[in-house]
Amino acid sequence: MPLTDPERRTVLLAAGGDLAAFTRLVRDHQGYIAGLLRRACGDATLAEDLTQLTFLKAWRRLGSLRDPDAVRLWLRRIALNLLTDAMRRGTVPTVAFHDELAHVGQPSPESALLHGLEIDRALERLATAPRTCIVLAYGEGMSHGEIAAALKLPLGTVKSHIARGLATLRQILEVEDDDHEVRSRAHSPSR
């Protein structure tokens, strides 16, 4: 989406070293980057740290931004590179897949994405790599090829992470729905 003239001006001023313009740029994009990283890594503290690093790196490299209209994508790329580096160093907490959750055939997670908080809670239970791939595919609308390039993973690995992650999400959401139904019945008055 093309930037408005004031947004483009802010990016160009920031690229020229204007600290006030860069502060506006951070204010305009910080929520998006922090939310993306929080969903992708499942750790609010790490996401906050990576968000700060993203904007520090952006400040240092803003002169290399060729297209002011692409500033959001450029920031996303920096954030994902930092997340990828953290994953490689092993500083991103991971949760192992549960074999008992690997069944398929439940309601699609695509429709469940409309249930924001349930999905966020379920995503937190996934291992980092599948969670990140799913967030980028469904939250950011990236293709499998774009995800593979952004995370520096083979395309087959991305597809596998997404397929297994979606199957796991289906099971997690089904279990939570079943638990909610049981709790609702237990708390409802008898007739």
For 122-178, the pLDDT digits (tens) are 788 888 889 899 988 888 888 999 999 989 999 999 999 999 998 988 888 887 665
* Cα–Cα dist 56/59, whole Å: 5
The total of other beta-carbon atoms located within 10 Å of residue 61's CB is 12
Phi and psi angles of residue 2, each rounded to the nearest 5 degrees, phi first: -65, 145
The whole-number pLDDT of residue 74 equals 92
Confidence of residue 114 (pLDDT cuts 50, 70, 90): very low
* Cα–Cα dist 131/40, whole Å: 6
The whole-number pLDDT of residue 106 equals 44
The whole-number pLDDT of residue 99 equals 32
* Cα–Cα dist 34/44, whole Å: 9
Mean pLDDT score of the chain = 78
* Cα–Cα dist 74/135, whole Å: 17
* Cα–Cα dist 20/191, whole Å: 65
The pLDDT tens digits of the residues spanning 50-87 come to 999 999 999 999 888 888 888 998 999 999 889 888 88
